[in-house]
Structure 1
Amino acid sequence: MQLFIGGTCAGKRDLIASRFPEATWLKMGEGADLSGWRDRLAPGQCLVISGWLDWLAGALADDADESDDDRLRARLDAELAAMVEAERRGQGEIVLILSEVGRGIVPIDPADRRLRDLAGWLAQDAAARAEAVWYVRHGLARCLTLG
């Protein structure tokens, strides 16, 4: 699994499209099933998954009673582990696109801070599992780590 992370409009999509021109793209978002990637992954193919911030926002809005961030983080990490395992079994290659949200002003609203925290934890967990982590800024990518 590879992770491309950077700010909004940093050039992540264009960079990935040029590196993986035949990839299938899946945009997570509000109401999307977290495990929906499983049906899209195919041997010998690359699946690019974006829209994680939208998915997190939707998950928090859909389950307003969910106050356990650790449980949500564990659920996300379990999906990341399943992605790595699927790759190991030769079911395809996965590329994640995550938005960097930790460099701006800390939001005043507690719900916005919570979303930012969860996005940061997702990025940390994805980076820990990724074979390669690419930070993208101004359309340029720097490899931060190779597993």
Structure 2
Amino acid sequence: MQLVIGGAFSGKRKIVKDTIGTCSWVSAYQEDRIADWETRWLHGTTLVIEGWEKWIADELTTSESNDDIRSLYKALFQTLFEEEQRRKNKIVLIMLEMGKGIVPLQKKDRRLRDIAGWIAQDAAQLSDQVDYVWNGLARRLK
């Protein structure tokens, strides 16, 4: 798995499109559900999943437990990792780096930032490659 992370409008999507061949996209920005990856991932393509902060924000409205949300996504990453190995096709996770250390004023915004950060750490740990994108430039971190 590959994680591409960076700020909003930093060029993450362009970097992925320019470096990856044929892709199957699942995007919260297009109103896709995270579970859509199973039906959208076409044979012989790289699966690209983006919009994690939107899916996480949806979970915040239904779950009081940060640990439960994090566990849900850790299990999903493990499933994706195993499916990537089984299909022998690559998965790219595009994630938004939220805050750059700035603490939001609203409690719900702080919670979203915290959980998204933990989930990004979990994704980075499981990924073979991690790239940070800023101003359209990618830097390999792992």
After TM superposition, is the score higher than 0.5? Answer: yes
- Looking at structure 1, the residues matched to 18 and 31 of structure 2 have their Cα atoms a distance apart, in angstroms, of 29
Cα 1:69/1:93, change in 2 over 3 Å: same
Structure 2: runs of 5 or more not aligned: none
Structural RMSD (CA): 1.8
| Residue 24 (structure 1) aligns with | 24
CA deviations 1:57-106 (Å, max 9, x no partner) are 12223x1xx21110110000000000000011125321010000141520
Scaled by the length of structure 1, the TM-score of the pair is 0.89
Aligned length: 142
Q: Do the aligned residues in 1 keep the contact of 2:21 with 2:45 (CA within 8 Å)?
A: no
Cα drift, residue 35 of structure 1 = 2.4
| Between 30-39 and 110-119, the greater mean CA deviation after superposition | 30-39
| Residue 48 (structure 2) aligns with | 48
| Residue 89 (structure 1) aligns with | 86
Scaled by the length of structure 2, the TM-score of the pair is 0.92
- Looking at structure 2, the residues matched to 43 and 4 of structure 1 have their Cα atoms a distance apart, in angstroms, of 22
Cα 1:48/1:90, change in 2 over 3 Å: same
Taking every aligned residue pair, what percent have the same amino acid on both sides?
A: 42
Partner of 2:104, secondary structure, is coil
Runs of 4 or more consecutive aligned structure 1 residues displaced over 6 Å after TM superposition: none
Partner of 2:94, secondary structure, is strand
